[in-house]
């Protein structure tokens, strides 16, 4: 009988000794804070559309310099080939500029076939200043981005496409992009392409302004 009573007493002592520990543990669990919710970082508003490797761009061009002249353009671009057709304001042909790899040839409306140097001389007599057409870099600039195969460009203003105007510089060229109807949405836009691009070449006094007809243009 005595051993049985001793064992009962020992069991009760263990129970009373363990109860505070268990209760404290349960109370500690109840005060644990739930894990913090991780809010994903919102991307910047300044997200341009992916650089299109092929496109068909249609719009207007304007040279603001010693002479002011404007017209229309139609540009078919592929990685190794370009066909840029320049037209007058009355849609009469001026020249067709073609690029095959690194070779540039200009076909004029009078039937002449000019090299790049000859075109610079001819455009100077026509416009009062040589019209430089860097087709490969221009294929990126017209999309609102720097050309990746040149020295890195430098932004000269805040990259806020929602404001409607940003500016930068690459390879000595001064670049200004305009968005005629900037988005006021707080949702980041991944489809930014400018409506207008203003370029000024190094050591040249005139400016070239390209206005895109986005409805008639296509980007791939």
Domains and CATH numbers, the chain: 55-219 (2.50.20.10)
Task: Give the CA-trace dihedral at 181, 166, 46, 84, to 10 degrees.
Answer: 80
Over residues 50-67, the pLDDT tens digits come to 788 999 999 999 988 777
pTM over 0.85: no
Would you say 158 and 164 are in contact if contact means Cβ atoms under 8 Å apart?
Answer: no
Q: Residue 5: pLDDT above 50?
A: no
Confidence of residue 86 (pLDDT cuts 50, 70, 90): very high
Mean pLDDT of the chain: 76
What pLDDT, in 10s, does the model give residues 177-187? 888 765 554 44
């Amino acid at each position: 009988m005595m051993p049985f009573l001793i064992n009962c007493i020992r069991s009760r002592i263990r129970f009373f000794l363990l109860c505070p520990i268990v209760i404290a543990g349960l109370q500690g669990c109840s005060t644990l804070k739930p894990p913090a919710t991780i809010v994903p970082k919102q991307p910047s508003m300044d997200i341009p559309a992916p650089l299109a490797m092929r496109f068909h761009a249609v719009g207007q061009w304007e040279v603001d310099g010693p002479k002011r002249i404007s017209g229309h353009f139609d540009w078919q671009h592929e990685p190794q080939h370009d066909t840029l057709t320049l037209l007058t304001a009355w849609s009469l042909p001026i020249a067709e500029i073609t690029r095959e790899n690194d070779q540039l040839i200009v076909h004029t409306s009078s039937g002449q076939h000019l090299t790049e140097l000859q075109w610079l001389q001819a455009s100077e007599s026509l416009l009062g200043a040589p019209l430089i057409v860097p087709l490969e870099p221009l294929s990126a600039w017209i999309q609102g981005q720097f050309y990746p195969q040149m020295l890195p460009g430098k932004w000269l203003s805040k990259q806020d496409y929602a404001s409607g105007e940003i500016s930068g510089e690459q390879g000595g060229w001064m670049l200004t992009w305009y968005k005629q109807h900037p988005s006021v949405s707080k949702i980041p836009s991944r489809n930014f392409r400018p409506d207008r691009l203003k370029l000024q070449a190094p050591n040249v006094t005139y400016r070239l302004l390209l206005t895109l007809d986005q409805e008639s243009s296509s980007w791939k």
